[in-house]
Chains A and B, each alone.
Chain A
Amino acid sequence: MYRYDEFDQGFVTQRTEQFKDQVRRRLSGELSEEEFKPLRLMNGLYLQLHAYMLRVAIPYGTLNSRQMQKLAHIARTYDRGYGHFTTRQNIQFNWPSLADTPKILEELAEVEMHAIQTSGNCIRNVTADHFAGAAADEIADPRPYAEILRQWSSLHPEFSFLPRKFKIAITGAPHDRAAVQVHDIGLQLTRNEAGETGFVVFVGGGLGRTPMIGRKVRDFLPEEDLLAYSEAILRVYNLYGRRDNKYKARIKILVHETGLEELKADIEAEFAKIRYGVLRLPDEEVRRIEAYFAPPPLEVLPETDGAFEARKAADAAFAQFVAHNLNPHRVPGHVSVTISMKPIGGIPGDATDVQMDEIAAIAKAYGHDEIRISHEQNVILPHVKLADVPAIFDRLVAGGMAEGNSGLITDIIACPGMDYCALATARSIPVAQRISERFGGADRQAEIGELKIKISGCINACGHHHVGHIGILGLEKKGEEFYQITLGGSANENSSIGEIIGRGFSSEEVVDAIETLVDTYLGLRSSKEETFLDAYRRVGDDPFKEALYGTG
């Protein structure tokens, strides 16, 4: 993984000092809350319902055991013993005090971490496929490019006061696990006919109040143009993006209102002016950064392992874990393991300090010291020997992290909702917990198969409900929470925005409604291989509507 040199270390240390001074000026009254707000947000510090919340960046979701141990330490020392992994591969601490935040940032800087631009109207943490560098279907590791973008976007002098937040995601595999089409810029690594590396570029995807799928602006952007083209997009957005209404300020609205062709022409015109300037990436520098991400030396091993197979045959829980939580690895005899942060009835994405320490220890013992956070709020060990999976599983069982539910109905994405968030209109976490309990039986989950449920506690859609196969949006009417259901959303290479199925349900009714939908699916699927999404796309709304409302 990327290692800071003296320059990077100095950068983060200086940034910490700068923020410390900003906190001092706020505490002394030199800065008003209105003026302090964009400054603290640019450093990931939110004011929530009950307390400050600090969001720490985990660039493209990659970290090592030392960094994970530091996060555990921070949870233990400055918070209430847990942290929350987010849908943008970051971690949030929910209870730090304002006065402690400079100290937390100093501790983070010791392990090459920070909270730079995890919030605010600037370029946010660049996210990537959580199986990057390991997946069997990968064209190239997207993380070197994510790292270059991370650097370029950090404290950018021109783009720190954008109309709104700006999110970039990149995937290196044709199967998109990074949801690139619902980002402000989505990049898909590709090769042209000459075998050169480049990117398919999407612009203007996003969720929130007005969900939109990104539009393709480039079929092939050469590797060396990555920064110049990104700068061109950002300049056009900074100058022309709407600032009169924060709900219409994302680049997706600019794309929509300007029209794709005109906006593309604006971007290309800007790009043409700067393309051959200082932002052009020299090949040797890309290769130098790439070398940081070189995979660990992995021995080619047999595709199967006797002890592994025996355990699978003897232990149903292990077999379930194997069936759902392993991802094919490039190197035979290896897999990527998903550690579920979705225990049945638990809070999606929450991890205790003890669990974080244990993940770090397991990664050190069996995983070449590499850890990933997925945007689905789980933890990944990217490089693991198949033969080590039983031992890892045993430790995960002891740590309460062994649920074999990756991609299943209980692997729910949920925003913090009204339990924490000042913007929320309804609770998300308790709904996720009740769904998880309802469907938590191992056989039932497996029978239902792949089904992504995503829950947001308000229209801002942090829980990505628009792209859930089943999406749940928590709203409020006359002081009562109610939940609107959407069907058919997806955030992979065939992205789609879910459609509202009908009137919403009360908190009491919503889990029954989900069960009705699931039972309807089970009754109409053509075979066990037809997933909920496939079935929905085949049959449409009607059977589900009929089952829920009986309206035909």
Chain B
Amino acid sequence: MSKIYKNGAFHEEDWIRVASEEPVPASGNVLVPLARYLAEAESLSGSDASIAVLVSPGDNVEDIVAHLDKLALVAVDFPKFSDGRGFSSARVLREEFGYKGDIRAVGFYILDQIPLLRRCGVSSFEIVKPEVLAALEKGEWPEVTRYLQPVGAVEEAPAGTRPWARLSLRSSTAEAAE
């Protein structure tokens, strides 16, 4: 089972990643690459399995706009932490296309990226790196909580007269209520 961090808490959850050629299981949680999903959208939506799409760097999230209401979640993959395309993918999905479901970061992002990902609309994290798990369990959250960019993905408090300045509303109590 994979460790998932969501709303300040951990739980275990499994998503079976199917590659382009593998058969799709008839039930359970299935994560399908975006291109394959598009090719087989009709048959997949008839399946009893819970279907989610895996967005890889280079994928265009605009391609799945018509299907968003059918998706259990959208996973944004970070095969390398230094490849920041997923930040834009998540943000576009959330802000431009108004996706309301869970956006999950998967892959090899690092601890310091988690607070940034959250502001881009990522709402849950599949954790593969043990040091990231250890840090989150200790409550570490390396973030500057005064922001100089307004984002639409997370609720934040305006700060002063600058329309682009925001204060984080995330706190331990706020988080418990999330």
Residue ranges of A at the interface with B (Cβ–Cβ < 8 Å):
5, 7, 10-11, 14-15, 18, 21-22, 30-31, 35, 38-39, 121, 151-152, 154-162, 227, 235, 238-239, 243, 273, 277-282, 284-285, 288
Residues of A within 8 A of B83 (CB): 161, 243
**Which one of B81, B89, B147, B148 has the highest number of Cβ atoms from chain A below 10 Å of its Cβ?**
B148
| Cβ A157 vs Cβ B84 within 8 A | no
Query: What would 22 A/B residue contacts be, using CB atoms closer than 8 Å?
Result: A7-B159, A7-B160, A11-B144, A14-B146, A18-B142, A22-B112, A30-B131, A31-B131, A151-B164, A157-B91, A157-B149, A158-B84, A158-B91, A160-B84, A161-B83, A162-B84, A235-B92, A238-B85, A238-B88, A239-B60, A277-B152, A285-B161
Interface check B43, CB cutoff 8 A: no
Cα distance A371–B87 when bound, in Å?
Answer: 38
A59 to chain B, nearest CB (A): 13
A500 to chain B, nearest CB (A): 34
Instruction: Return the contact of B88 from the options A11, A239, A279 (Cβ within 8 A).
Output: A239
Residues of B within 8 A of A159 (CB): 84, 87
| Interface residue tally for chain B (C-beta within 8 Å) | 41
Interface mask (B141-162 → A, CB under 8 Å = 1, otherwise 0):
0111111111110000001111
Where chain B touches its partner, the secondary structure class is: loop
Which residues of chain B (42-70) have a CB below 8 Å from chain A? 57, 60
Residues of B within 8 A of A235 (CB): 88, 92
Instruction: List 15 additional A-B contacts (Cβ < 8 Å) besides A158-B91, A160-B87.
Output: A5-B160, A10-B146, A11-B144, A14-B144, A21-B142, A22-B112, A121-B84, A151-B162, A159-B84, A160-B113, A238-B87, A239-B60, A239-B85, A243-B57, A278-B150
Given contacts A157-B87, A157-B120, contact A285 B162 (CB under 8 A): yes
3 closest A-B pairs by beta carbon, nearest first, are: A161-B84, A157-B119, A278-B150
Interface check B71, CB cutoff 8 A: no
A235 to chain B, nearest CB (A): 5
Residues of B within 8 A of A160 (CB): 84, 87, 113, 116
Residues of B within 8 A of A121 (CB): 82, 84
| Cβ B84 vs Cβ A238 within 8 A | yes
Cα distance A277–B115 when bound, in Å?
Answer: 23
**Which one of B83, B89, B149 has the highest number of Cβ atoms from chain A below 10 Å of its Cβ?**
B149
Cα distance A38–B113 when bound, in Å?
Answer: 11
Q: Which residue of A lies closest to B153 (CB)?
A: A157
Residues of A within 8 A of B146 (CB): 7, 10-11, 14
Q: Which residue of A lies closest to B159 (CB)?
A: A7
Which residues of chain B (92-140) have a CB below 8 Å from chain A? 92, 96, 110, 112-113, 115-117, 119-120, 131, 135
Interface check B165, CB cutoff 8 A: yes
A101 to chain B, nearest CB (A): 16
| Cβ A161 vs Cβ B113 within 8 A | yes
Interface check B23, CB cutoff 8 A: no
| Cβ A15 vs Cβ B164 within 8 A | no
| Cβ B164 vs Cβ A278 within 8 A | yes
Q: Which residue of A lies closest to B83 (CB)?
A: A243
Given contacts A239-B85, A278-B150, contact A152 B113 (CB under 8 A): no
Cα distance A243–B21 when bound, in Å?
Answer: 26
Cα distance A321–B80 when bound, in Å?
Answer: 54
Residues of A within 8 A of B160 (CB): 5, 7
Cα distance A159–B116 when bound, in Å?
Answer: 10
**Which one of B57, B96, B112, B147 has the highest number of Cβ atoms from chain A below 10 Å of its Cβ?**
B112
| Cβ B148 vs Cβ A155 within 8 A | yes
| Cβ B91 vs Cβ A161 within 8 A | no
| Cβ B142 vs Cβ A279 within 8 A | no
Instruction: Return the contact of A152 from the options B112, B115, B149 (Cβ within 8 A).
Output: B149
Given contacts A22-B142, A30-B131, A39-B112, contact A11 B84 (CB under 8 A): no
Q: Which residue of B lies closest to A21 (CB)?
A: B142
Cα distance A162–B149 when bound, in Å?
Answer: 17
A292 to chain B, nearest CB (A): 12
